Amino acid sequence: MGAGVFGLSIAFACARRGARVRVADIRGIGAGSSGGIVGALAPHVPENWNAKKQFQFESLLMANAFWTSVDSASGLSSGYARTGRVQPVDAPGLPLARARGKQASLLWRGRAVWEVVAPPNGDWRPVSASGFYIRDTLSARLHPRKACDSLAGAVRALGGEVVIGEAEPEGSVVWATGVDGLREMARVFDRPVGGGVKGQAFLLRFDARDRPQLFADGVHFVPHADGTVAVGSTSEREYAAPTGTDALLEDLHDKAVGLVPVLADAPVVARWAGVRPRARSRAPVLGAWPGRDGHFVANGGFKIGFGMAPKVAEVMADLVLEGRDAIPEGFRVSDNL
């Protein structure tokens, strides 16, 4: 139940293991926050390591094989590429940034690099007060809407169904219904489980498709394969129009141009707004639905849902199909109740 990235990814993983799957969503494929435009798959900082960071690290390492198999099955493109990321660092932050690089060499086990570097060549970079930058090779990008379309196509190619509209649950049921699902769990358990945080983003016509994504002052700049750059996002706990853009997006545009001046004349070709599901723990909510035999939950992707999706898909397929529970502590439904 739910044709966002969690629901579709789990369906794909189950179908690859031979299960008969049906994905149903009353609003459509990627109709919620999974239908966005940013698609920054970026790691947490390599320090204070915990289960959430390890899970995300493993998922980011799985991403290339996962999205390659999705796109191969569907014949579509998710826009995935592991292009890395560059972010500015100020002078006081240089010692910490270098220390994190040493931690990354231990924690990331040589699978990716986090390092402090001199300015990259060219003007595709944020303004840096120190003149130095953090570069990591673990970050990747995809186009969220296209990724959801590719997943839906892959599920169908493997014999599964994707139903737009009402569908009667049968067999094992995974509830991957985003903000609506968090609200339903709060109603059922009579306690807060999480809620929605609105985000707004825009798309520029600027071709940096082979360049790394940038991150500066909380803003993501993600070059897509189609010659656009996505910029996002706002973070709004209070909002009147869940899918409406407003002056906050215009402020974000002004801020973005100040951070990356080469984008000053790039035209805006699309705007987007949506509400992202944020669980109380800020980690994904995964596992069996307490008191509902054969029902499961996969929710709370918030800002890292696409980066977490390959690993979420595998552990949920393990649980639903084989009864093997490899969900980390902190991610379980009970941890959010």
* pLDDT tens per residue, range 110-154: 999 999 999 888 999 999 999 999 999 999 999 999 999 999 999
Select from 176, 140, 157, 141 the least CA-distant residue to 10: 176
Convert the pLDDT of each residue in 277-290 to its tens digit: 999 888 899 999 99
- Over the stretch 229-275, which tens digit does the pLDDT of each residue have? 999 999 999 999 999 999 999 999 999 999 999 999 999 999 999 99
Q: What proportion of the chain, given as a percentage, has pLDDT over 90? A: 91
What percent of the chain is helix, strand and coil (3-state, nearest 5)?
A: 35, 25, 40
Alpha-carbon distance of 73 to 70, in angstroms, equals 5
Residue 335 has pLDDT above 90, yes or no: no
Q: Please give the single-letter amino acid code of residue 202.
A: F
CATH number for the domain harbouring residue 78: 3.50.50.60
> How many domains, the chain?
1
What tens digit of pLDDT does each residue of 40-60 get?
999 999 999 998 899 999 999
The mean predicted confidence, pLDDT, of the chain is: 95
Full domain range(s) for residue 11:
5-336
